[in-house]
Amino acid sequence: MKGKFITFEGGEGCGKSTQVKLLNGYLQNRGVDTVLTKEPGSTEEGKVLRNLLVTGDKDRFDSVSECLLYYADRRCNLQKVVWPALEQGKWVISDRYADSTEAYQYYGYNNGITPEMLNELYHIVAGDFKPDLTLILDIDPQIGRQRSFAKAENMQVKELRFESRELEFHNNLRRGFLEIAKREPERCVVVNADQSIQNLHDEIVRIVNERLKI
């Protein structure tokens, strides 16, 4: 039996990484064999791409170049991490996937990328494969950015290429994620991320249990 593929999406500072780890622990305690992954950066090739994509000047790539780099990372991640794990019956939990590319490179920039281009790229890279469940953590962009900058200062993180963009960009991201969720309700669930870590985790566990019948 194949495993399940769960993806976490959302704007900057929504708490994805923390909730990915918490859900992973919960599933393992329930006896589920899990694999964690993230985009970009889960393979050796992806680590090189991640350094290009999330650090440096915010204008170093246009939306088309950036989109192609993300899809190169995605192909490596699918081939080397996601698909092999699913074939072994493991559940894969991913910190970002294709919805982020649509939200950031299409809705965020709103320049150069079209839905038709994204659909064709996705089909080339992933075929008909899709996540079993996508959790979209929704938060006011101003709150999310404040969280991200505070985390970066505390942990001396340099991955602030997207956080440094204007508020309009982040508002566009939020709109994009919400429109994706509205378009694909059978796959996507929007979760209010402006609550305590524990309460958010509890809500995510409830959704996973309801949708995937653990």
DSSP secondary structure string, 78-122?
Answer: IIIIIHHHHHTT-EEEEE--HHHHIIIIIIIT-SS--HHHHHHHH
CA distance 15 to 162: 16
Mean pLDDT of 16-34: 97
Rounded to the nearest 10 degrees, how much is the dihedral formed by the CA atoms of 33, 38, 44, 50?
-170
**pLDDT (average), residues 22-35:** 97
The 8-class DSSP code of residue 146 comes to H
**pLDDT for residue 88:** 97
Q: Which two tokens stand for residue 101?
A: 């590319």
Read off the pLDDT of residues 113-163 as tens digits, 9 standing for 90 and up. Answer: 999 999 999 999 999 999 999 999 999 988 887 776 666 555 555 555 565
Query: In angstroms, rounded to a whole number, what is the distance separating the alpha carbons of residues 55 and 158?
Result: 6
**pLDDT score of 205:** 98
172 CB-near residues (< 8 Å, 6+ apart): 107, 108, 110
**For the residues 58-70, what does the mean pLDDT come to?**
86
89: domain range? Answer: 5-212
Q: What is 19-76 written as a DSSP string?
A: HHHHHHHHHHHTT--EEEEETTTSSHHHHHHHHHHHSS-TTSS-HHHHHHHHHHHHHH
Query: What CATH number corresponds to the domain at position 111?
Result: 3.40.50.300
Query: Domain tally for the chain?
Result: 1
Quote the pLDDT of residue 107.
93
Higher pLDDT, 2 or 87: 87
Select the highest-mean-pLDDT range: 93-102, 105-114, 142-151: 93-102
| CA 199 to each of CA 8, 27, 68, 147, 178: distance values in angstroms, whole numbers, following the listed order | 17, 17, 37, 18, 21
